[in-house]
Amino acid sequence: MTAQILAKQTDPHGVGLAQHEIESRLTDMLAETLRIAPAEIDVSRPLPHYGLDSIDAVTLAGDLEDWLNVELPSTLLWDYPTVEGIASYLGEALRAQPAQTAHAPQDSQGIDDDLLDHLDDLEPGQIDALLDELIP
Amino acid sequence: MQTLKQYRAAEALERQLGDPLNDANTLSFKNAMSWDEAEAFPQPAVDLLYRLGVNHHYVPASYGGRFTSYEEFQSLARSVARRDLATAVTFSTLVWSTLVWVGGDEQQKRRMAKTLRWTKEALCLAYSEEHHGADLIANECRAEKTAQGWRLNGEKWPINRATRSGGMAVLAKTGRERDSRSLSLFMVDKLDLDPAAYTNLPRVKTYGLRGCDISGVRFDNCQIPERSLIGDVGQGLELALRAFQVTRTLCAGLSLGVADTALRSTLDFALNRKLYGGTVFDIPNARRMLGEAFIDILICDCMATAAVRGLHVSTEQFSVWSAVAKYFVPATLERTVQELSVVLGARHFMRERHQHGIFQKMLRDGAVVGLFDGSSQVNLHALGLQLRHTTKARRNAGPDTARDERLATIFDLGRVLPSFDGRRLDLFSRGRDDVMQGFASALEHLHGLDSGTEVDGVVLGHLLRLTDEAMQALLALDALLDGPQGRALNPQSSQLFTYAKQYCVLHGAATCLHMWLYNRARLDGYFAAGEWLALALQRLLGQLRPQPDTLPNAYHEHAAERLKHLHDHQKLFSIVPLQLAPSHSNEEEKHHDRANTR
């Protein structure tokens, strides 16, 4: 599965978040679901080892969608069952498609123009992502 | 009134199967009881269903079959279930072909179509293992890659139709880890197997469904060909859960068939039994109980019908919707049948006499529907976990013309459904639930109705009051789920199960309201008058907290009269009361029908 966001929200959050920031937020969400301390979660250990079952994992993908305001595959956590795996997937997906997720119905050229028009309103992370996109 | 097109196949099947009270018919109560008593497999009934071509309804039209919609499909299953649930459950294992329609490749689909249409090879669902129940990831049955395909080792038990099937959908471990990608799905054809490499496990004695082949299978280094694998390696659980969204939804039809017979049989007794100078039906409390059972059936009928239609339209939402239908309908109707046993009195305890003792068989057999395909608890858990998301999505949902259009397609029974597309089934609905998101606009619609001309003013007043109460209850549930207490809920918390049950009740209220609003002009006068809806809403709200009866006694009386009318005219207890088999046996008519079906 290539890292991609399925969807078409108008305002994705978290674009340009560093890997460690995503990991840290993920760890907190997991700790809350699993009722354990965040410190107990090893980012490289598969989540089923912490008692996260298949359906919980699907729901957690939904929580990630809410947090990032993007649409993700329901089985994301099945395919990337560790915190670092999920974070790297999300980082890549958000970097790869910030423009598309921001303005899905338009074509990509139009999107870039639109974003450039609003450069002043963008967060530093979004600017970084945009630069990544424009300068391959 | 002309029967809606999607119900004509069920009416034809009714005529072909004949009156279950006529002992000469294959699917008679007498035969169903004698198979049950002898713990005998209902082979004559299965043979008859094949002769009538019911197997063709399991194959999509694009593969040469007669499947058109799940609405039609469910109505056929209901006709069989009302005669004998053991037969219905035995024959309906063909529905596991859903796994291939949803996840198989072109060749697998063609092969499945051929098997279902031209052979009598049945299927079975080999998921369960003795020590692991619903915990599928803990399964031990393993498939190992070989040069020619795969090698199976392990046991599956208890499996309906394990011994008497030609094909088995086997979920087996292909990964070492205990994770969601460690299972793969195989459609195993027994003809491909070395008979020495698998063993049928003995039948288990059961409380209900005593004629069913509930047994198991053991594989010992059993070689299966490469083409058995459905989907990709590691996709087994995903496919299993997606197909369950279809089959769980269909379970509602089985419960409705059982409840129809339980009520019809009890009513038959109540109308004929003379007591205290009148009949049991003349006793106000008995009549009230019969009327309430009828209202329960109408509620579940609305939910089942909306859900099977919804499968074609709001397919992505079935992680929520299938759980609602699979929990609510079997649980409600099981209780309804239990309550009817009070009216039937001593006869409900007899395995003979009144209609050959069919009531106690329906009571026992019906109890299985809440168990299989994911138990009530499994469904409430799956629903409970999604409630935070449905609450949030509903809060953020404004007016949405696409949703209004979907609701119109689902609920207006005169609309033609789009083809079902199983690829759209998703494990997570992202909070979407059209029925509930459309509840507020349905209330607006209700408020806009003209009292007096469009609907009786008193009825409308009750409907406005009761639907408002339902909306308040929904907002209160939202507040609980959204508040600090709700957010802190453990995924395994028993409170979450309670909330999920309440959500189902409110889903029922919204469903009945939508159904009425969209079909007032289409269905008959009793449906249009709306008294039944007021009774249904009151009955649903009573499941949330005790309700005083605030409705005119006449509504209850009219419900009982309507019930008697449907009974006297051999009509299904339903919002769409299709014509059941006539209570006399007319051989000429039967021959005529048979000649016309193929």
Query: Which among B382, B426, B430 has CB closest to A55?
Result: B382
Residue B374 vs residues B89, B101, B247, B308: alpha-carbon distances, Å: 15, 20, 10, 18
Chain B hits for A55, Cβ within 8 Å: 381-382, 385
Position A126 scores a pLDDT of 61
Position B489 scores a pLDDT of 80
Domain locations in chain A as residue ranges: 19-134
Which of these ranges, A92-101, B55-64, B227-236, B362-371, has the smallest mean pLDDT? A92-101
Per-residue pLDDT reduced to its tens digit, B98-112:
999 999 999 999 999
**What is the residue whose two structure tokens read 């039994």?**
B273
Per-residue pLDDT reduced to its tens digit, A12-61:
676 667 888 889 989 998 888 888 899 999 999 999 888 888 998 999 99
For domain B123-230, which CATH number applies: 2.40.110.10, 1.50.40.10, 2.30.110.10, 3.40.1190.20? 2.40.110.10
Is residue B159 within 8 A of residue B128, CB to CB? The reply is yes
Q: Is B441 on the interface with A (CB under 8 A)?
A: no
For domain B240-568, which CATH number applies: 1.20.58.340, 1.20.140.10, 3.40.30.10, 3.60.21.10? 1.20.140.10
Average pLDDT, chain B: 95
Instruction: Give the 3-state secondary structure of residue B427.
Output: coil
Position A109 scores a pLDDT of 40
Contact B237 A79 (CB under 8 A): no
| % of chain B residues with pLDDT over 70 | 97
Q: Residue A125, exposed/middle/buried by CB under 10 A (0-12, 13-18, 19+)?
A: middle
Average pLDDT estimate for B238-251: 97
Per-residue pLDDT band for A116 (boundaries 50, 70, 90) equals very low
**What is the residue whose two structure tokens read 């449907």?**
B566
Residue B543 neighbours by CB distance under 10 Å: 18
Q: Is B401 on the interface with A (CB under 8 A)?
A: no
More confident residue, B66 or A14: B66
Contact B180 A56 (CB under 8 A): no
- The minimum CA-CA distance between A63 and chain B, rounded to whole Å, is 8
Per-residue pLDDT band for A11 (boundaries 50, 70, 90) equals low
* Domain B5-118, CATH: 1.10.540.10
Chain B hits for A44, Cβ within 8 Å: none
DSSP labels, B139-208: ---EEEE-SSEEEEEEEEEEEETSTT-SEEEEEEE-SSSSSTTSEEEEEEEGGGS-GGGEEEEPPPP-SS
Contact B179 A46 (CB under 8 A): yes
Query: Which among B178, B180, B319 has CB closest to A57?
Result: B180
Per-residue pLDDT band for B404 (boundaries 50, 70, 90) equals very high
Contact B428 A58 (CB under 8 A): yes
Position B596 scores a pLDDT of 46
Average pLDDT estimate for B185-207: 96
Q: Answer yes or no: is pLDDT of B22 > 80.
A: yes
- The minimum CA-CA distance between A136 and chain B, rounded to whole Å, is 34
Average pLDDT estimate for B492-507: 95
Q: Answer yes or no: is pLDDT of B475 > 60.
A: yes
Short-list B228, B343, B350, CA closest to B294: B343
Measured distance CA(B287)–CA(B560) in Å, rounded:
6
Position B520 scores a pLDDT of 95
Q: Which residue of B has its CA nearest to A64?
A: B430
Is residue A96 within 8 A of residue A4, CB to CB? The reply is yes
Per-residue pLDDT band for A133 (boundaries 50, 70, 90) equals low
Identify the H or E element spanning B230.
strand B229-230
Query: Which among B181, B386, B426 has CB closest to A78?
Result: B181
B348, two tokens = 């409900």
| Disruptive mutation site among A1, A32, A59, A69 for chain B (greatest number of B CBs within 10 Å) | A59
Strand partners, B170: B126, B186
Query: Which among A33, A61, A66 has CB closest to B491?
Result: A33
Per-residue pLDDT reduced to its tens digit, B415-450:
999 999 999 999 999 999 999 999 999 999 999 999
Position A124 scores a pLDDT of 56
Per-residue pLDDT band for B554 (boundaries 50, 70, 90) equals very high
DSSP labels, B539-557: HHHHHHS-----S-HHHHH
Which of these ranges, B397-406, B489-498, B571-580, has the smallest mean pLDDT? B489-498
Residue type, B332: T
Q: Answer yes or no: is pLDDT of A111 > 80.
A: no
Average pLDDT estimate for B79-88: 98
More confident residue, B148 or A128: B148
| % of chain A residues with pLDDT over 90 | 28
Q: Residue A124, exposed/middle/buried by CB under 10 A (0-12, 13-18, 19+)?
A: exposed
| Disruptive mutation site among A52, A53, A80 for chain B (greatest number of B CBs within 10 Å) | A53
Residue A91 vs residues A14, A57, B252: alpha-carbon distances, Å: 9, 19, 43
**What is the residue whose two structure tokens read 């609510």?**
B328
Q: Answer yes or no: is pLDDT of B341 > 90.
A: yes
Query: Which among A62, A79, A81 has CB closest to B428?
Result: A62
Is residue B542 within 8 A of residue B550, CB to CB? The reply is no
Instruction: Give the 3-state secondary structure of residue A6.
Output: coil
Measured distance CA(B301)–CA(B313) in Å, rounded:
18
Cα-Cα-Cα-Cα torsion B569, B572, B576, B582, nearest 10 degrees, comes to -50
**What is the residue whose two structure tokens read 């007794």?**
B269
Position B133 scores a pLDDT of 83
**What is the residue whose two structure tokens read 């499968």?**
B311
Measured distance CA(B21)–CA(A136) in Å, rounded:
77
Per-residue pLDDT band for A135 (boundaries 50, 70, 90) equals low
Contacting residues for B547 by C-beta, under 8 A, at least 6 apart: B538, B541
Chain B hits for A75, Cβ within 8 Å: 180, 238, 427
Which of these ranges, A77-81, A85-89, A128-132, B163-167, has the smallest mean pLDDT? A128-132
- Identify the contact set of chain A against chain B, taking CB-CB distances under 8 A: 33, 35, 46, 48, 53-59, 61-62, 65-66, 71, 74-75, 77-79, 81
**What is the residue whose two structure tokens read 């990509």?**
A108
Per-residue pLDDT reduced to its tens digit, B304-332:
999 999 999 999 999 999 999 999 999 99
Contact A59 B430 (CB under 8 A): no
Position A8 scores a pLDDT of 47
Domain locations in chain B as residue ranges: 5-118, 123-230, 240-568
Query: In CATH, which superfamily holds the domain spanning A19-134?
Result: ACP-like (1.10.1200.10)
Position A112 scores a pLDDT of 45
Position A100 scores a pLDDT of 43
Average pLDDT estimate for A116-136: 54
CA A122 to chain centre: 18
Instruction: Give the 3-state secondary structure of residue B590.
Output: helix
Q: Answer yes or no: is pLDDT of B466 > 80.
A: yes
Instruction: Give the 3-state secondary structure of residue B123.
Output: strand
Q: Answer yes or no: is pLDDT of B74 > 60.
A: yes
Average pLDDT estimate for B368-373: 91
